[in-house]
C-alpha cells in the first residue's frame, strides 16, 4: 500500500514538470514561456523585457490562474466523494491551494519557498537565458522541467510548493469567492508565496549577473593573453634571418 502511494505521488509530482516542459516547447518561441510572475520579474531584472511588458505578462499570468482555477471548480463542483473520503470540502480539495503544514513555522515555510524558487529560477536563468550553456543547443525546457519535479518533491509536504505567485493566487481567490474556507487557504503565512519567489528572483538576477561578469572577465583576459602571444610569435618570425 505504501509503495502504491509512493508511486502515485511520484507521478503526481512529475505532472508539474511535464506540464511546464510541454508548455515551454509550445509557446516558448512566441512569448518566452514565462507562466510565472517570478520568472517574469527575473527577466525584467536581467533587462530582457521592459517594465511595461512585465506588467502585461503578470496581469495575464494572474488572470490565467483565476480562469484555470475557475475551470477546475466548475469541473468538480458537484463532487460528493472521492476515493476513501466520504465527503470532500467545498470547493473540492480547496482547488489545490497551497497551504503551510502545521508541523513547521511560517519562517520555515518562507525559507523553503525562497530556496525552492531560487533553485528553480537559477536553472531557468542558466539554461534559457545564458546563450553559452549547453542547453541552448539542446532542449532548455528539459532541465527546467526536471528541477521543477525535484522542487515539488521537496516542498509539497511542507508548503504545497508555490514557487509561482500566480499558482497560489488563482486557487486561493476562487476558494474565497465560492466557498466558506477562505481562512483556511489565506492565513497569516499567505505572504510567503509572494515574497519568497520575488525575493528569489532578485537573488538569482544578482548571482547570475556576478557569474556573467566573472566569466566575461576571464574570457577577456584569455583573449588578451592569446593576442599578446600571437603578436610575440609574429615578431619573432619577422626578426628571424632570411635563408
Answer with the residue of higher pLDDT: 136 or 57.
57
Quote the CA–CA distance of 196 and 120 in Å, as a whole number: 12
Share above pLDDT 70 across residues of the chain, in percent, rounded to a whole number: 75
Q: What is the DSSP letter of 187?
A: -
Instruction: Kindly report the backbone phi and psi dihedral angles of residue 7, in degrees, each rounded to the nearest multiple of 5, phi listed first.
Output: -65, -40
Q: In this structure, are residues 174 and 71 in contact, taking their beta carbons and an 8 Å threshold?
A: no
What's the whole-model pTM score?
A: 0.81
**Ranges of each domain in the chain:** 7-213
| Domain range 7-213, its CATH number among 1.20.1080.10, 3.90.1150.10, 1.20.58.1610, 3.40.1190.20 | 1.20.1080.10
45 sits in which H/E element: helix 37-45
> pLDDT tens digits, residue range 105-154?
999 999 999 999 999 999 999 888 877 766 555 577 888 888 999 999 99
Query: pLDDT at residue 226 above 60?
Result: no
DSSP 97-146: -----TTS-HHHHHHHHHHHHHHHHHHHIIIII-TTSGGGGS-THHHHHH
Amino acid at each position: 500500500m505504501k509503495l502504491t502511494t509512493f508511486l502515485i505521488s511520484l507521478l503526481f509530482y512529475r505532472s508539474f514538470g511535464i506540464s511546464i516542459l510541454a508548455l515551454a516547447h509550445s509557446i516558448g518561441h512566441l512569448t518566452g514561456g514565462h507562466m510565472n510572475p517570478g520568472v517574469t520579474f527575473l527577466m525584467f531584472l536581467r533587462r530582457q523585457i521592459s517594465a511595461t511588458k512585465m506588467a502585461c505578462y503578470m496581469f495575464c499570468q494572474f488572470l490565467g490562474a483565476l480562469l484555470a482555477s475557475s475551470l477546475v471548480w466548475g469541473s468538480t463542483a458537484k463532487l460528493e466523494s472521492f476515493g476513501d473520503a466520504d465527503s470532500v470540502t467545498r470547493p473540492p480539495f480547496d482547488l489545490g491551494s497551497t497551504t503551510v503544514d502545521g508541523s513547521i513555522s511560517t519562517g520555515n515555510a518562507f525559507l523553503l519557498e525562497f530556496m525552492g524558487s531560487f533553485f528553480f529560477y537559477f536553472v531557468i536563468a542558466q539554461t534559457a537565458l545564458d546563450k553559452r550553456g549547453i542547453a541552448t543547443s539542446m532542449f532548455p525546457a528539459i532541465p527546467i522541467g526536471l528541477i521543477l519535479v525535484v522542487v515539488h518533491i521537496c516542498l509539497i509536504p511542507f508548503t504545497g510548493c508555490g514557487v509561482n505567485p500566480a499558482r497560489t493566487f488563482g486557487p486561493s481567490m476562487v476558494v474565497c469567492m465560492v466557498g466558506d474556507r477562505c481562512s483556511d487557504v489565506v492565513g497569516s503565512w499567505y505572504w510567503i508565496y509572494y515574497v519568497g519567489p520575488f525575493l528569489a528572483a532578485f537573488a538569482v538576477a544578482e548571482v547570475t549577473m556576478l557569474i556573467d561578469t566573472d566569466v566575461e572577465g576571464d574570457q577577456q583576459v584569455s583573449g588578451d593573453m592569446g593576442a599578446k602571444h600571437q603578436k610575440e610569435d609574429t615578431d619573432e618570425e619577422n626578426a628571424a634571418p632570411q635563408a
